[in-house]
Structure 1
Amino acid sequence: MTKRIPIFAHRGASGYTLENTFKAFEKARKLGADGIELDVQCTKDNVLVVYHDFNLFRLTGVKKNIIDCTYDEISNFPLGKPLLRRLSKERIPTLKQVIEWANKCKMPLNIELKESLLTNQKPLKDMLQRVVLPEGSHFSSFHNELLRIVKMQRPEFETAFIVTKAFNWNDLITSTYFDAVHANKKYYKAKYLEVCEKANKGIRFYAINGAESFLYDPHPLVIGWITDFPDRVAKIEKIKK
């Protein structure tokens, strides 16, 4: 029997509904996701919120950066694409609210730490000192500095570095502040998997859409799929059984 690879829904079931909302998270759970990937930014008044972009314009129509707004301000901004926004009841949730939901549902979280935390690290440190997360949760980031903070505050939490084109894969062997790698599926190649094996680090792949042939017989180092379409990947996991 091939081992089951945990499926993390990218910003919730974002292939079907509005990203990083409770609607997307609930949809993902119903579609068979094993966990939720979400993004964390910080407001002007130090509230950690679940939102992807540094600028609010794409989903709120407000031309402001998130660090220039208080949570009271952004909590009143309807979320959605331009034509649907006026009728939307969706709002930007706080990380605290999402963690409470996740603990209640026993839904692991892949918490991606975003750029607004680089210049205001105190809210992250405060959160780490007291947070309780569902089993199987972890932190990820493009920013090694933020993963270093996680490890210093809570060494028991798994951390994962999100690689870019500029990343030197040979640095994996000497990296100490992250336990795993998150990479676009284009990096599902033998040369990168071999480096992960030498570094003894697992890898999760994102941008998975369910059509990838490697889903049926994944490399032993793969520890997760990150997808907008959790139902498609869940169907393949059932076939593998």
Structure 2
Amino acid sequence: MSARVIAHRGAPYRRVGSHIRENTLEAFERALELGVEGIELDVRRTADDVLVVHHDVHVENGPMVREIHSDDLPEWLPTLAEALEVCADTWLNIEVKNLPGDPDYDETFGISLAVAALVRAFDAADRVLVSSFDFNSVQRIREHDPDIPIGWIVWGQANPAQMVHRAAGSVDALHPSEMLIDRPLVEMCRDAGLAVHAWTVNDPDRVLELHRMRVDGIVTDEVAMALNVLYGR
């Protein structure tokens, strides 16, 4: 079984005279047209508590997303509800951006509960996985609604055995940076009942190598390349 190709923030496009931003409805629509099996996107909250799709704390070096009323956001910046509508037939990895130390960090995890509530409102629990670098942010979802799948994103110099031990029984999937992944790690995750989603994989040889290790998903900026490597499209 092939790994799921997951479009990292959709499939943005940058060429002379043409530009599709990442994390926009246009980027998601382009990813769907290319034939991906999943899309990864990032979520933050506005000043009036609307969930929107945006990676950075700030909007184009301006104010924080958390400081802006949803009515005042740029037109290209979508809400999570809009993304759920556009991607109604596609698996989504919804990353909750909520890290200690960030100026918009929510120590009450209200953003996590808001994401869970919206997933339920769209009856989408069977086609999403909510992930975060912050373990506690996804644990809050597990406590509130245990039927919504969750994942923990890890990177840097993480100890493989320690991160698998922490994740086992607490989350459904481990999302290691691709540089951390080798066959022993994948086997440890399998033994612990964890799915494995690798990020961000933009080299064709590495895509094939991870596929042969039997990871569950490959997050990539190079959607067309990954689909060609795995499916010959």
TM-score, normalisation: structure 2: 0.83
Partners of 1:42 and 1:117 within 8 A in 2: no
**Aligned mates of 1:178, 1:117 — CA distance in 2:** 21
Relative to structure 1, the CA distance from residue 70 to residue 163 in structure 2 (aligned partners, 3 Å threshold; closer, same or farther) is same
Other structure's SS at 2:11 match = coil
One of 13, 22, 27 as aligned partner of 2:25: 22
Deviations 1:116-151 (A, max 9, x none): 463453353244233322744211110111111221
Residue 79 of structure 2: aligned partner? 94
Residue 7 of structure 1: aligned partner? 5
Residue 87 of structure 1: aligned partner? none
Residue 121 of structure 1: aligned partner? 109
Residue 144 of structure 2: aligned partner? 153
The amino acid across from 1:41 in the alignment is R
Q: How does 1:39-58 map to 2 (within 5 A)?
A: 39-57=42-60
Residue 192 (structure 1) aligned with residue 185 (structure 2) = yes
Residue 17 of structure 2: aligned partner? none
**Aligned mates of 1:186, 1:124 — CA distance in 2:** 28
One of 84, 90, 97 as aligned partner of 1:107: 90
Relative to structure 1, the CA distance from residue 24 to residue 228 in structure 2 (aligned partners, 3 Å threshold; closer, same or farther) is same
Partners of 1:7 and 1:34 within 8 A in 2: yes
Unaligned runs of 5+ in 1: 78-89
Deviations 1:130-182 (A, max 9, x none): 33227442111101111112212221222111102253432322433311111
Q: How does 1:24-39 map to 2 (within 5 A)?
A: 24-39=27-42
Identity in percent: 27
Runs (4+) of structure 1 exceeding 4 A deviation are none
TM-score, normalisation: structure 1: 0.81
RMSD across aligned positions (CA)? 2.3
The amino acid across from 1:205 in the alignment is A
**Aligned mates of 1:159, 1:5 — CA distance in 2:** 18
Residue 70 of structure 1: aligned partner? 69
The amino acid across from 2:10 in the alignment is G
Relative to structure 1, the CA distance from residue 127 to residue 191 in structure 2 (aligned partners, 3 Å threshold; closer, same or farther) is closer
Q: How many residues are matched? A: 217
**Aligned mates of 2:207, 2:10 — CA distance in 1:** 23
The amino acid across from 1:185 in the alignment is E
**Aligned mates of 1:228, 1:26 — CA distance in 2:** 15
The amino acid across from 2:213 in the alignment is H
One of 213, 224, 227 as aligned partner of 1:219: 213
